[in-house]
Amino acid sequence: MHKVLVIAYYFPPMGLSGVQRTLKFVKYLRNNGWEPTVITTGDVAYFAHDESLQKELNETGVRVIRVEGAEPNSLLSKHGTIKLPSEFFRKTFNRLSQIFLIPDNKLSWSKNAFKKCLEILSNEKFDCVFISAPPFSQFDIFSNLRKEHNIPLFFDYRDLWYESYFSFYPTPLHKLIHKKKEYRALKAADRIIVTNRKIKEKLLNVFPFLTFDDVLIISHGYDQEDFDKISAQPKPNNKMVLMYSGIFMVYNTPQYFLKAFKQLTIERTDIASNIELHFVGFLRKENQKLVRNLKLQSFVKDHGYVHHSESIAKIKSADVLWFMVGKRKNIDAILPGKVYEYIGARKPIIACVPDGAAKMAASDYKASFITEPDNIEQIKNAILEVYKLFKEGKLPIPDEKYVESFRRDLLTEQLAKQMNNVLKV
């Protein structure tokens, strides 16, 4: 087999959807002639740890090398799974760290991971290095591999770097430094992989030296094995279950959806009484307070954070799934990875989204009800339409060919082909 060194800060036992892309690549690369070795974090503090993903990783037998850093997660490692702070506190801390740490507060870990990488490469031969970001300090530091080793570099963008929807530039100098660092990193890369067309378009516009063929799209996906092995949780009643799975932060909020449902409880009590709103993941205190203020406690079931396997079981039990992306700068390039687990479940989706990658994906799915993210009247009418079709047994069915194209095993095959092509060159 060929050998690939995988660099990923977010990796099991950490949870949440950002972990899964790299884990599933690692899982299926062996089937495509590539033996992965992963450099990742040690025991760090984090908002979610997932035993089911760690078990899946253990079953692959992949070698994992864990590196410590001096970033906040490592410094707080003795606390294990920590509470998710309020959005105000998270945003404030994030902005403070962006003032002093460029490109991000994982810089110390990326430097230590780079040292470990050099140590490994001095003793073993690898055919390429695959780096998944964020954090983008990985791209910044690992672009130096060109000076040390003539080894192909694959940069995998899960989100934008420069002018990201998460970015904060306190001065023009900060903005310039980020752009220059990304330019330097991209110059060092042999292959640039992105998760959707909008990220590709923005990279090509900001960095004109890139050609169309330099940037490849390998989207997020779902693991069909998860859906084959994990059974749906039984429904306790005949009510329509409308479910959200994931976290609310930065670019999304349930407030418009909850306010739309509140209107429904006033205008059509008969329909609202036959619907349950389920939240799997982090609903957060501020949104729990909103539920109480709107007096929707009897309609809402907050399951809290659950492991990946249980999340799949709950998604499979739902009748309709829902997600939203709010209106922010460059938000057209965001497409939450969780959406592809919705697609893998083959359930109808209510998508409250602006123009962009998320709206395009929902439209191509052919079983979506699309509204503007903050239009309460549109959202209420979408819920009414979905309920009517549910009662009639006529909920739409997605395009199976479209669904199949996002299987994790097939996406990993695409990645392996790109690695093979680089070796041929």
Same fold, 2-221+408-424 and 224-404: yes
Percent of the chain with pLDDT over 70: 100
Residue 16: closest CA among 40, 52, 43:
52
Distance of alpha carbon 152 from alpha carbon 257, whole angstroms? 46
pLDDT tens per residue, range 28-72: 999 999 999 999 999 888 888 999 999 999 999 999 999 998 888
pLDDT tens per residue, range 143-202: 999 888 889 999 999 999 999 888 889 999 999 999 999 999 999 999 999 999 999 999
Mapped to the 3 state alphabet, what secondary structure does the chain carry?
CEEEEEECCCCCCECCHHHHHHHHHHHHHHHHCEEEEEEEECCCCECCECHHHHHHHHHHCCEEEEECCCCHHHHCHHHCECCCCCHHHHHHHHHHHHHHCCCCCCHHHHHHHHHHHHHHHHHCCCCEEEEEECCCHHHHHHCCHHHHCCCCEEEEECCCCCCCCCCCCCCHHHHHHHHHHHHHHHHHCCEEEECCHHHHHHHHHHCCCCCHHHEEECCCCECHHHHHHCCCCCCCCCCEEEEEEEECCCCCCCHHHHHHHHHHHHHCHHHHCCEEEEEEEECCHHHHHHHHHCCCCCCEEEEECCCHHHHHHHHHHCCEEEEECCCCCCHHHCCCCHHHHHHHHCCCEEEECCCCHHHHHHHHHCCEEEECCCCHHHHHHHHHHHHHHHHHCCCCCCCHHHHHCCEHHHHHHHHHHHHHHHHHC
Any bridge partners for residue 28, and if so which?
none
Q: Please say if the pLDDT value at position 334 is more than 80.
A: yes
Whole-number pLDDT of residue 370: 97
Whole-number pLDDT of residue 260: 97
Cis geometry, peptide bond prior to residue 134 (ω within 30 degrees of 0): yes
Distance of alpha carbon 349 from alpha carbon 293, whole angstroms? 27
Enumerate the domain spans of the chain.
2-221+408-424, 224-404
Distance of alpha carbon 83 from alpha carbon 48, whole angstroms? 9
Residue 336: closest CA among 248, 411, 407, 403:
248
Average pLDDT over residues 213-220: 95
Work out the pLDDT band at 288, boundaries 50, 70, 90: very high
Average pLDDT over residues 286-292: 94
Whole-number pLDDT of residue 32: 96
Q: What is the mean pLDDT of the chain?
A: 93
Any bridge partners for residue 131, and if so which?
7, 155
Q: At what angle do helices 338-345 and 357-365 cross, to 10 degrees?
A: 0
Whole-number pLDDT of residue 322: 97
Any bridge partners for residue 247, and if so which?
282
Contact 291, 300 (CB under 8 A): yes
Average pLDDT over residues 269-287: 94
Domain 2-221+408-424: give its CATH superfamily: Glycogen Phosphorylase B; (3.40.50.2000)
Q: Please say if the pLDDT value at position 250 is more than 80.
A: no
Average pLDDT over residues 258-263: 97
Contact partners, residue 134, CB within 8 Å, separation at least 6: 9, 104, 158, 159, 161
The sign of the CA dihedral 40, 42, 44, 50 is positive
Distance of alpha carbon 13 from alpha carbon 377, whole angstroms? 41
Average pLDDT over residues 115-122: 96
Whole-number pLDDT of residue 75: 81
Work out the pLDDT band at 96, boundaries 50, 70, 90: confident
Least confident of 121-130, 165-174, 394-403: 165-174
- Tell me how far apart the 2 most distant CA atoms of the chain are, in Å: 70
Tell the burial category of 30 from Cβ atoms under 10 Å away from its Cβ (0-12, 13-18, 19+): middle
Whole-number pLDDT of residue 316: 96
Least confident of 166-170, 206-210, 265-269: 166-170
Whole-number pLDDT of residue 361: 93
Whole-angstrom CA distances from 34 to 4, 28, 44, 128 are 7, 9, 28, 10
Whole-number pLDDT of residue 194: 97
Domain 224-404: give its CATH superfamily: Glycogen Phosphorylase B; (3.40.50.2000)
Whole-number pLDDT of residue 364: 93
What one-letter code names the amino acid at 83?
K
User: Which is higher by pLDDT, 247 or 389?
Assistant: 389
Whole-number pLDDT of residue 184: 96
